[in-house]
Structure 1
Amino acid sequence: MRQVVEALISGEALPPRTVAFTLDDGFYDQAKTALPVFESYQAPVTLFLATDMQDQRYWSWDYKLEYIFKHTPRQSLELDLGKGVAPQTFATSKDKRDLVRALRNLNKRLPNQAAESSVKDIAERLAVHLPAEAPDEYQPITWEQARSLESHYVEFGPHTQRHPILAQVSDEEAKQEIVGSWKALQANIANPVPIFCYPSGREGIDFGVREQKIVKQAGLIGAFSADPGYVHLTRADNNRFSLKRFNFPNDITHFRQYCSWLEYAKERMSRR
């Protein structure tokens, strides 16, 4: 990602069909399983860290939701998913995944404190104890691990401190989340990437002009959303503080489409 953004700034070309990989948040399994794979194939990757996970073993409400439905002994609950209170059943893993996704989307529209309270209420109603610190299955990468993994191919960048939806916090909180995470990286990593990654990352919904301004004022050289799309090095209207990236697909066919002319051609046609 560092090379991509530096190319945008300098105007220099990258090799044809360049692909940059990212991972978000900073969990132990990413350090144990994923990063060594990138290293072994000498494939550059940037891992964006929510730094309070490292500093305080903090875990955010969206992961707490997932934990609740993994561990509840119950299979139904009355919930309002936007169409009034109604019974929701979740007997299968798929049911639980779908319900967690729906609840996450609803809570992303709430102030962070309200989302935390909503998740706490669901945990109590589903008879699940939420640990104050992240349990082992949500164990974060430690700073020591990050330092040992940092290399020519593995880099780390800032992703807020506590992983809130930035559009739902105050001006001061947004600044603290962005600047604080960058300072934590600078204090703990030898060569952190000066590029930010917005939690959830939908432009105009999860972040906007305010957040982009804070990122720029913090001295960072760019920022990535989670909106799908390419980074076009030659386009004059590039916004370095709201760059797009594709979610990694579930099958190799779609991955090949993203990395080839086919998805690019579809994008060009959709803009006509």
Structure 2
Amino acid sequence: MMLSKAAISLLTSGPVCKVLQPLRKNVVPVFLLHRFADESRGIKGHSQAHLEAALTYLKRNDYTVVSVRQVVEALISGDALPPKAVAFTLDDGFYDQAKTALPVFESYQAPVTLFLATDMQDHRYWSWDYKLEYAFKHTRHQSLELDLGNGATYVAFANSEDKRNLVRTLRNHHKRVPNEVAEAAIESFSKRLEVDLPKAAPDEYQPISWEQARSLESRFIEFGPHTQRHPILAQVSDEEAKKEIIGSWNALQTNMANPVPVFCYPSGREGIDFGVREQEIVKQAGLIGALSADPGYVRLKEANNNLYALKRFSFPDDMAHFKQYCSWLEYAKERMSRR
């Protein structure tokens, strides 16, 4: 059931929420954020102004921003969280996230967890999905012969929107093949597009450094493991999956004072990007929980809650839908749809 922004505004207004907000007291929305916009470096993403507006709304309406660590520990201990709890996460560990987002969370005294793909911090690797994006952004070509499942055909990409749509299609396709096949395909694309892929991540894909991470770690800013190279874990071998998960956690423990013992799966669709194998490795590594990217609330009172596949909502680009997820409204919609 889709609601108009006007309807959402009415249903999430103060008088309505005062009566109906207790419906959500046993669930927590955890929001997933990625890149932050930086025109000077050619980066599209969330705006600082929108994040500030969201945090201002939470503060003015008596929500409590809690950390992912607090959420998982509450699930384990059974201790209560505030009835209007909300949590935030950032995935990957890019410089723009550290430059733009983390100071905002710190200034609002709002906890956030940044999950790091640790080989980026060590400058050993940058992920094939970002190499794919880089190749199409920097090519002089405007078409390429591709097989997108219906036989080889020339695909045109004359403008930036065409390129974004094509990159999204190719990225989704290559998430479903073994990681080494995806790596080889991106190398092939770059040669055909006549784009040299830098060995180290170029400026627009620069990661936060360990030194920066240590300087930012605080009561409100925490860091957690997100693999080493950011592969789709379901597409690597047993040994590689162990190396990616355990290696990233070891790197966090070595480089940070108090890393969060909660894992975050790349791409994060349960049953597609990770499964039982990955959850078992996370448990064996001594981590106390893990986050997916499947939409939904973390349910505090369910006995069968899976600590190693906790759900998150993508951070909405508009305030109406942000209010919908934070208030009672989205949870009520979910319950009605299950009947």
TM range (shorter): over 0.9
> What SS is found at the alignment partner of 1:56?
coil
- Aligned partner of 1:72 in structure 2 is 139
Compute the displacement of 1:57 (Å): 4.5
- State the Cα deviation string for residues 86-112 of structure 1 (Å, max 9, x = none): 111111211111111100010001111
The correspondence of residues 26-175 of structure 1 with structure 2, limited to 5 A, is 26-175=93-242
Q: Which residue of 1 aligns with 2:313?
A: 246
Percent identical residues: 78
Distance in structure 2 (CA, Å) of the matches to 1:63 and 1:271: 37
Within 1, Cα distance between the matches of 2:149 and 2:315? 29
Greater RCO structure (CA 8 Å; 6+ sep): 2
- Asked if the contact 1:57/1:139 (under 8 Å) is kept, the reply is no
Deviations 1:12-38 (CA, angstroms, capped at 9, x unpaired): 111012110000000111111110011
Q: Could you tell me whether the CA contact under 8 Å between 1:57 and 1:140 is conserved in 2?
A: no
Greater Cα offset, 74-83 or 172-181: 74-83
Match status 1:270 vs 2:304: no
Q: How does 1:149-228 map to 2 (within 5 A)?
A: 149-228=216-295
Which of the numbers 58, 71, 83 marks the counterpart of 1:16?
83
Q: Give CA-to-partner distance per residue, 1:23-57, whole Å, 9 cap, x none.
A: 00001111111100110111110000000001124
Tell me if structure 1 keeps the 8 A contact 2:93–2:116.
Answer: yes
| C-alpha separation in 2, matches of 1:82 and 1:237 | 39
Report what 2:296 is aligned to: 229
Conserved? CA contact 1:156–1:192, under 8 Å: yes
Matched residue type, 1:60: S
**TM-score, normalising length from structure 2?**
0.79
Separation in 2, partners of 1:73, 1:250? 31
Aligned-residue CA RMSD (Å)? 0.8
What is the CA–CA distance in structure 1 between the aligned matches of 2:123 and 2:268, rounded to whole Å? 23
Identify unmatched segments of 5+ residues in structure 2.
Answer: 1-67
Q: How far apart are 1:171 and its partner, in Å?
A: 0.5
Query: What TM-score do the two structures reach when normalised by structure 1?
Result: 0.99
The one-character-per-residue Cα deviations of 1:146-176 (angstroms, maximum 9, x if unpaired) are 0000000000000000000000001010000
The letter for the 1-side match of 2:318 is D
**DSSP 3-state at the match of 1:234:** coil
Matching of residue 260 in structure 1 with residue 327 in structure 2 = yes
The CA distance in 1 between the partners of 2:304 and 2:256, in whole Å, is 33
For 1:44 and 1:73, the matched residues in 2 are separated by 43
Displacement after TM superposition at 1:251 (Å) = 1.1
> How many residues end up aligned between the 2 structures?
272
CA distance in structure 2 between the partners assigned to 1:17 and 1:85 by the alignment: 52
Q: 1:5 aligns with which of 67, 72, 88?
A: 72
Q: Secondary structure at the match of 2:299?
A: coil
Q: Name the CA distance, whole Å, in 2 between partners of 1:111 and 1:22.
A: 27
SS at match of 1:250: coil
Please tell me the residue identity of whatever aligns with 1:58.
Y
Report the Cα distance in structure 2 between the residues aligned to 1:169 and 1:209, rounded to whole angstroms.
14
The one-letter code of the counterpart of 1:220 is L
